Amino acid sequence: MDQRLFAAAVAAMERAYAPYSKFQVGAAILAANGKIYSGCNIENAAYPVGHCAEAGAIAAMVLDGIQEIREIAVIGRGDLLTTPCGGCRQRIREFAGPETKIHVCGTEGLRRTFTRDELLPASFGPENLA
What digits encode the pLDDT tens for the residues 22-76? 999 999 999 999 999 999 999 999 989 999 999 999 999 999 999 999 999 999 9
Calculate what percentage of the chain has a pLDDT beyond 90.
98
DSSP β-ladder status, 96-106 and 69-76:
parallel
Ordered structural domains, the chain, with CATH: 3-129 (3.40.140.10)
- Average per-residue pLDDT for the chain: 97
Q: Point out the residues that are catalytic.
A: 54
Looking at residue 22, what is its pLDDT? Answer: 97
pTM for the predicted model, two decimal places: 0.96
